[in-house]
Structure 1
Amino acid sequence: MDLPIDHFRLLGVSPSADAQGVLRTLQSRLDRVPHGGFTPETLQARADLLRASADLLCDHDRRAAYEAELTGLADTDGSLQPALEIATTRQVGGLLLLMEGGQPHDAFELASRCLQLPQAPTLGSGRETDLTLLAGLSCLEAARELEEQRRFEAAARTLRQGLQLLQRLGRQPELRETMNARLDRLTPYRVLDLLSRDLAAGAERREGLALLEQLVQRRGGLEGDGDPHFPPQDFQTFFHQIRSFLTVQEQVDLFSRWAASGSEAADFLATIALTASGFAQRKPERIADARNRLQRSGREGVEPLLANLHLLLGEADTARACFDSGASQDLKAWAAGKSDDPLGQLCAYCSDWLVRDVLPGYRDLEAEPDLVAYFSDRDVVAYVEREDQRRGRAYLSAPAPAAPAAAAPPPFPSFETPGFPAAEFFSPATSAPGGFPPLPPTGPATDPDDDGEPDDDVPLRWPVPPRPWLLAGGAAVLLLAGAWVVRQRQSAPPPPPPPAPLPAPAAKPPAAAPAPSPGPAIGQSLTPLTSPRPDAAQVRRLLENWLTIKGDVLAGGPMPQGLDRIARKGPVDLLASERRSDAARGQTQRLDVRISDLTLSESGPRRIVAVARLRYSDRRLDANGTVVETTPPMELRNGYVFGRDGDSWRLAATQSLN
């Protein structure tokens, strides 16, 4: 037999060790017996091989020749590997040394080969006993190494091979029991290994899903505690991790099956997965299934969540009734701070719920909580209109115009139901091993890290602009969504906010309109605002610089270099997009914008909200310089959000407050 190892590794010495070091290592290895179950013959063969290697390495001439051979093998680019030829009588001892030398997988494969016909030893002989013991020990050690490399499925495959070998021989019951226990302990890691693979690896993912179902069944269900080797706290941590590797459809299917078996937690999780799928894929029918499932559950404290589902289905009147009857006073106060309009309050709460609890945690889902895009989708519009016609909803007149919103309070839970099903399974996978956070609050999003990064700390907090024609019911939601801009904290930067709406252009004049009266001169500057706590005058100068640059660009000027020093990517991209659109039509714009008043409605270390009154007019010119449209002078009221990035303040978003 050829052992795939050299004399240095077999003895366990460095190639630079001298003769004294070799002899000391030899004595240490002889004194340490690897396992008490081997026969004296195998232990003697092991000792003889160790001494033979030490003799060679202590002989100067023989060692020099051997090292030359190793050097020659190294020059073959790995096509040849060193090996030691050993006699048949010393095979088991050699395999034992191979395992001790850090090559348990090779030792296991060679031992398994020796136990197969025609090399199989005589049944009941000492050689068979030693080979089966060696196969079991090397199998466990090889699996341990694979675990350390996080190759959990390969470790399980090795353990299964070892079990089959020992079961066939009917040997080593203690080792078989240890292997079975290791296999059971590996199951969660195998699930993670298999489900974390690419979605194209269909067979592996199906095996992972099957193992997950076996794991849950062994526990006695999602809320069960029937697996002594997998306590609830560990299972919850595992479940947090596993959700992010499952697609939304896999979660719908799994949780629905578990819910059919009586799991309340799975029933609630299926509701959330159906909502995520319906919202992201623009399939209101799935949201209707989620609403029906939540209604059938008969749980207390879910009225605010039902309100969100009714809202997403265009059932605004029912949503308002659910929210009014079930929301806590804290949640109602927060919603009132978002808008005086009841539908605006529902939109604020629904978008926050989507970003916190519904859309995160799916392998194949990357969706923004954008109600505008959702209610603009033709399938959603068709569903709402169809349901309106089928149910014959009565549309009511609009509520009173909304007043400016109050500042949002600190985060709070949207509902508090002790022991609410699925609470322990619903948090993001961020808990430390051995711990498990409670159900995250579904109140307003915050910026706990306060890092000032783009799109993290500047959610818009203005009310929904009032519309005198706003209706209740499905049509109301469709109209409202067009005015509701959702800006919530996301792991990926959300799309830039829409530009502030411009007033409707006046009728085309018979001749070129006279140039508007010029306002006070505003010098174009890209000097960033670096004051830690700027006052209103400093913020006004920064905004004036932005408005001047915007006017120059829309008039056909180039985008200045370094514009990102005073504005974030969203506003800059919107300006560039508007200019490209005008250029494609062969047009330019002449804006006249003057700030008549500016106040700071919010001033913090990382975020400033300014409310500005503007005198505004514009002209649109074609390629020949002929005026094609004009907007007469009028007063606008806009809100501007500034975020601090590092030491500089930059414009982050704009919203019309008219």
Structure 2
Amino acid sequence: MRIPLDYYRILCVPAKATTAQITQAYRDRLSQFPRREHNALAIEARNRIIEQAFEVLSQTETRAVYDHELSGNMFRSLVPSRPKLPFPDRPSSDTELEALTAHQPTIDIAEKDLLGGLLLLLDLGEYELVLKWAAPYLKGKGKLVKEGKFGAVEIVEQELRLCLALAHWELSREQWLQQHYEQAALSGQKSQELLVDVAQFADLQQEIQGDLNRLRPYQVLELLALPESETQERQRGLQLLQEMLSARVGIDGQGDDQSGLSIDDFLRFIQQLRSYLTVQEQLDLFVAESKRPSAAAAYLAVYALLAAGFSQRKPDLVVQAQTLLKRLGKRQDVFLEQSICALLLGQPTEANQLLEQSQEQEAIAYIQEQSEGAPDLLPGLCLYGEQWLKTEVFSHFRDLRQRREDGSVSLTAYFADPEVQQYLDDLLTEAVPTPTPHPDTESTAAPSEKPPETLQSETGVSPHPSRPAKVDSFEDLVTQTPATVPRHRLLLV
């Protein structure tokens, strides 16, 4: 049989090498052993082909004849170009193999040396050719293997699987370097599948799995960056991400997903992939993760809830964000974010009170500057809130980035929405129940109707001011002053 190799490449010498150089190269090649997983049958066949190359090139007459044959092939190259991927999974026909090697030098080898030829192709980095030559002998040409033409059947089948697995693995590494991460992962998985039933290669399987684990973050980013129309591939990316989160026990968890990313590296990875996710995808992901509990996931969930609540005109999501911020507020300064939530829920008094507690000096200075001459900080907060939603929130969602400049980020439009207005009215109604005194009691206040100062002293929780009795427009909200805010206050449950 003929294989796509030439004797100079087999010995790793140039075409103008001297006899002394060829002799030294021959000795070096015999002393170089392939991976320890290869069996003796394949290594012996490899060495026979190396000896065959030396016999031809070390003798002047045979070398001259061989050089004449090489010169007749105008397409010969010491480093032949490789066929392009992807290859079909079906076995290659003899005609296809001939077409594949039509412009490459070939040599004759004995049938029993097939495995040695595959080892040499692996040595020389011809991984695609290994796939094309070896795969048929596990499929369509498997009959030749069963007949024992290449040696003991079990040993030959095992060696064929090993050669194919190593070729897929090396291709995976090349594709990784070329930043084709999904293709690299698929090649690595094919390598694992070929070895799954071969117990002797457990160490090799562990090496390959290690590469796949380290590759996964890149694979996730590549899949999630695909267009939204690529639904199946993007869902695969989300599934892989979920597997990583489960192994790590959350975004800021202490578990090990074998990716090699530290906690800080993983947080940066999450921050990077956010721009590839839609509002709904981030809602589903981070709200669920915040329940582990996870402070990092809770903060990201706040962004998702605010983005969805504002863009979809769903104040109930803003309420959920407000709840998460109260939990986060026990450990960090999130008063600025809380004040924006209060603003979106039509609660100007609370927005002002929360803002006064914030230590975000740069933001507060801007808000104060924009509120100059006003009785409170509400005008500046409105301007800051719109800008914050546009630059700090919408920019992290792939389906909202384009809406930053089309007027969508508008508090005026938000408060003018009938559904928003109805929800805020219902929120006020729920927050202010009408007390029903018992007929036999005096007109004194019931325990639940105690003044807010009394409630605060008894519970240790600051009372929550309600929104104005009626805010019909954004202008009403901005011009609402503390003097017109109803004095009734309730605790949030």
Task: Provide the TM-score with structure 2 as the length reference.
Answer: 0.69
> 1:153 offset after TM fit, Å?
2.3
Q: Structure 1 residue 253 and structure 2 residue 284: aligned?
A: yes
1:526-541 equivalences in 2 (<5 Å): none
Deviations 1:395-431 (A, max 9, x none): xxxxxxxxxxxxxxxxxxxxxxxxxxxxxxxxxxxxx
> 1:137 offset after TM fit, Å?
3.6
2:223 paired residue number: 194
Q: Structure 1 residue 141 and structure 2 residue 170: aligned?
A: yes
> 1:256 offset after TM fit, Å?
1.7
1:194-593 equivalences in 2 (<5 Å): 194-227=223-256, 229=258, 230=260, 231-281=262-312, 283-295=314-326, 299=330, 301-327=333-359, 331-340=363-372, 341=374, 342-355=377-390, 357-366=392-401, 367-368=403-404, 374-377=410-413, 380-387=416-423, 389-390=425-426, 474-475=471-472, 477-478=474-475
Contact 2:172 2:184 survives alignment (8 Å): yes
> 1:55 offset after TM fit, Å?
5.4
More strand per residue: 1
The separation in 1 between residues aligned to 2:270 and 2:236, in whole angstroms, is 17
The separation in 1 between residues aligned to 2:344 and 2:178, in whole angstroms, is 46
Q: Structure 1 residue 96 and structure 2 residue 119: aligned?
A: yes
The separation in 1 between residues aligned to 2:128 and 2:408, in whole angstroms, is 58
Within the candidate set 191, 205, 208, 1:179 is matched to 208
For residue 282 of structure 2, what is the amino acid of its counterpart? Q
Q: Structure 1 residue 71 and structure 2 residue 75: aligned?
A: yes
> 1:99 offset after TM fit, Å?
0.5
The separation in 2 between residues aligned to 1:330 and 1:35, in whole angstroms, is 61
Contact 2:115 2:159 survives alignment (8 Å): yes
The separation in 1 between residues aligned to 2:100 and 2:168, in whole angstroms, is 26
The separation in 2 between residues aligned to 1:138 and 1:276, in whole angstroms, is 47
The separation in 1 between residues aligned to 2:54 and 2:477, in whole angstroms, is 86
Contact 1:192 1:242 survives alignment (8 Å): yes
Q: Structure 1 residue 162 and structure 2 residue 191: aligned?
A: yes
The separation in 2 between residues aligned to 1:63 and 1:329, in whole angstroms, is 80
The separation in 2 between residues aligned to 1:207 and 1:473, in whole angstroms, is 48
> 1:193 offset after TM fit, Å?
2.5
Contact 1:223 1:265 survives alignment (8 Å): yes
The separation in 2 between residues aligned to 1:40 and 1:296, in whole angstroms, is 65
1:43 paired residue number: 43
Shift of the 371–123 alpha-carbon distance from structure 1 to 2, 3 Å rule, reads same
> 1:361 offset after TM fit, Å?
2.4
Shift of the 33–170 alpha-carbon distance from structure 1 to 2, 3 Å rule, reads closer
> 1:126 offset after TM fit, Å?
4.8
Contact 1:146 1:154 survives alignment (8 Å): yes
> 1:390 offset after TM fit, Å?
4.5
Deviations 1:245-292 (A, max 9, x none): 222221111112222343332222111012123334555554344334
> 1:209 offset after TM fit, Å?
0.6
Q: How many residues align?
A: 403
Shift of the 375–79 alpha-carbon distance from structure 1 to 2, 3 Å rule, reads farther
The separation in 2 between residues aligned to 1:162 and 1:333, in whole angstroms, is 59
Deviations 1:317-371 (A, max 9, x none): 3322322344566654443233313222212432453355322222332143888
Shift of the 387–361 alpha-carbon distance from structure 1 to 2, 3 Å rule, reads closer
Contact 2:70 2:76 survives alignment (8 Å): no
> 1:107 offset after TM fit, Å?
2.2
Within the candidate set 101, 104, 107, 2:130 is matched to 107
> 1:382 offset after TM fit, Å?
2.5
2:458 paired residue number: none
Within the candidate set 86, 95, 103, 2:109 is matched to 86
Contact 1:316 1:473 survives alignment (8 Å): no
The separation in 1 between residues aligned to 2:34 and 2:230, in whole angstroms, is 41
Structure 2 unaligned spans of 5+:
81-97, 430-467, 480-493
The separation in 2 between residues aligned to 1:376 and 1:160, in whole angstroms, is 53
Shift of the 325–67 alpha-carbon distance from structure 1 to 2, 3 Å rule, reads same
The separation in 2 between residues aligned to 1:31 and 1:202, in whole angstroms, is 52
Contact 1:111 1:131 survives alignment (8 Å): yes
Contact 2:4 2:107 survives alignment (8 Å): yes
For residue 395 of structure 2, what is the amino acid of its counterpart? P
Deviations 1:202-249 (A, max 9, x none): 111111111100110011122211107333233223222222222222
1:359 partner SS: helix
Aligned-residue sequence identity (percent) comes to: 28
Structure 1 unaligned spans of 5+:
394-470, 483-658
Contact 2:371 2:379 survives alignment (8 Å): yes
The separation in 2 between residues aligned to 1:287 and 1:369, in whole angstroms, is 22
1:60 paired residue number: 64
Contact 1:315 1:473 survives alignment (8 Å): no
1:71 partner SS: coil
Contact 2:38 2:159 survives alignment (8 Å): yes
The separation in 1 between residues aligned to 2:298 and 2:218, in whole angstroms, is 25
For residue 272 of structure 1, what is the amino acid of its counterpart? Y
2:173 partner SS: helix
Task: Provide the TM-score with structure 1 as the length reference.
Answer: 0.53
Deviations 1:550-578 (A, max 9, x none): xxxxxxxxxxxxxxxxxxxxxxxxxxxxx
Shift of the 309–8 alpha-carbon distance from structure 1 to 2, 3 Å rule, reads farther
Shift of the 85–308 alpha-carbon distance from structure 1 to 2, 3 Å rule, reads farther
More helix per residue: 2
Contact 2:247 2:257 survives alignment (8 Å): no
Contact 2:138 2:160 survives alignment (8 Å): yes
1:571 paired residue number: none
The separation in 1 between residues aligned to 2:133 and 2:304, in whole angstroms, is 49
Shift of the 12–195 alpha-carbon distance from structure 1 to 2, 3 Å rule, reads farther
2:396 partner SS: coil
